[in-house]
Amino acid sequence: MPDVISIGEVMVQMNPVSGGPLRHARLYERHVAGSEANTLAGLQRLGVSTGFISRVGKDELGLAVLAELRAEGIDVSRVSVDPEAPTGVYFVQRGYPVQGKTLVFYYRANSAASRTGPEDVPEEALDGARMVHLSGITPVLSESCRQACLRLVELARKRNVPVVFDTNIRVTLWRERARALEGLKPFLAEASYVFTGDGDLSFLFDGDSLESRVAQLRALAPAAQMVIVKRGAEGATVFMPDGSTVEHGGFRVKVVDELGAGDAFDAAFLASLLQGRPVHEALRLANAAGALTVTALGDLEPLPTWDDLRMFLARHEGADSALLR
């Protein structure tokens, strides 16, 4: 029985081998990715068992998605094949026209995954679960997806399973702040752990400091034991309920493909908590996992194992690095 259950959409990712605008891209690497499943794959690499709820199309791309998720060891018994709609696809444009920024072009409207509904979330899906993980992407995909997410959260509450929620704002999908805030509220209200980022916080709230935006988020997430704010290469900060914070700096690496870093971060943080590691150590490992994930194309492929993290930390923290136990 999986320790962590999540729900979302996995798409085929078309990632050009060269830079520049997509209108000229001719050679692509074909990957498979989706924020929530990326997090599950990251957990699997760190020894945590996971299960995913979704749909794929009855097509070649759906077979590719299923094959990759299975290869990561994710339980896909609750990913159904929907003959009525296709598997979603997205294209990535890295570093053009703004260096260091990635643009994403979705071909996912009315995809099979967007037809996921509460009927795909039976109560037994939570048998044995230690955490339920959701992100702000799935509820915006369709009304049935929103209902499926609400059901998952309701079942988690009924069974006392902690809910982990990553705000994961995709502006292209939400379009405007008021809609996003309304859409995220029911999930924030139930979350025991909230992951967010400085970009997400600025999109959601006004305020002259990170602290004031986090305070506004906390007001919507009164049950949150931790609000974890990711700041990319700058590191991350955990805001505890008593107002104290725990911080860890980021690691400098050569960025090849920034997508998936936040998912890798969540995975390493959660795997560390599930192992009983202290918050500061979880942050250190999560920052390292995020950094490692931007060093290669694709979201799933560069996700680290414990051995990868050990080697990375030894290199980046020097001889004094207190290596993982």
Can you give the binding site for ligand KDG, defined by CB under 6 A? 33-35, 38, 104, 137, 170, 259-260, 262-263, 299
Decide whether 91 or 306 has the Cβ nearer to ligand KDG: 91
The helix/strand count (H/E) of the chain reads as 11, 13
For residue 61, which of 30, 17, 39 has the smallest C-alpha distance?
A: 30
Hey, what are 2's tokens? 């999986």
Q: How far is the CB of 107 from ligand KDG (least distance, A)?
A: 12
Catalytic residue, chosen from 257, 263, 266, 299, is 263
For residue 111, which of 183, 61, 46 has the smallest C-alpha distance?
A: 61
Q: How far is the CB of 195 from ligand KDG (least distance, A)?
A: 11
Q: How far is the CB of 224 from ligand KDG (least distance, A)?
A: 21
Q: How far is the CB of 169 from ligand KDG (least distance, A)?
A: 10
Q: Compute the half-sphere exposure of residue 133: CA atoms within 13 Å on the CB side of its CA.
A: 29
Annotated active-site residue 320? The verdict is no
76: Cβ–Cβ under 8 A, 6 or more apart, which residues? 51, 52, 66, 69, 70
Per the DSSP assignment, residues forming a β-bridge with 14 are: 30, 91
Q: How far is the CB of 255 from ligand KDG (least distance, A)?
A: 14
Per the DSSP assignment, residues forming a β-bridge with 226 are: 193
Q: How far is the CB of 117 from ligand KDG (least distance, A)?
A: 18
Decide whether 57 or 262 has the Cβ nearer to ligand KDG: 262
Helices 143-158/177-190 angle, 10° precision: 20
Helices 261-274/279-293 angle, 10° precision: 150
By CB atoms closer than 10 A (0-12, 13-18, 19+), residue 174 is buried
Decide whether 200 or 299 has the Cβ nearer to ligand KDG: 299
- Distances, alpha carbon 49 to alpha carbons 2, 7, 75, 106, 162, in Å: 5, 15, 8, 29, 16
Decide whether 259 or 303 has the Cβ nearer to ligand KDG: 259
* Chain residue at closest Cβ approach to ligand KDG: 35
> Residue 124 is which amino acid?
E
Q: What angle do CA 103, 107, 112 make, to 5 degrees?
A: 135
Residues in the chain: 325
Q: How far is the CB of 146 from ligand KDG (least distance, A)?
A: 15
Decide whether 138 or 237 has the Cβ nearer to ligand KDG: 138
Pairing of strands 193-197, 163-166: parallel
Decide whether 161 or 201 has the Cβ nearer to ligand KDG: 201
Decide whether 120 or 281 has the Cβ nearer to ligand KDG: 120
Pairing of strands 4-7, 11-16: unpaired
What 3-state DSSP class applies to 130? coil
Instruction: Tell me the catalytic residues.
Output: 263
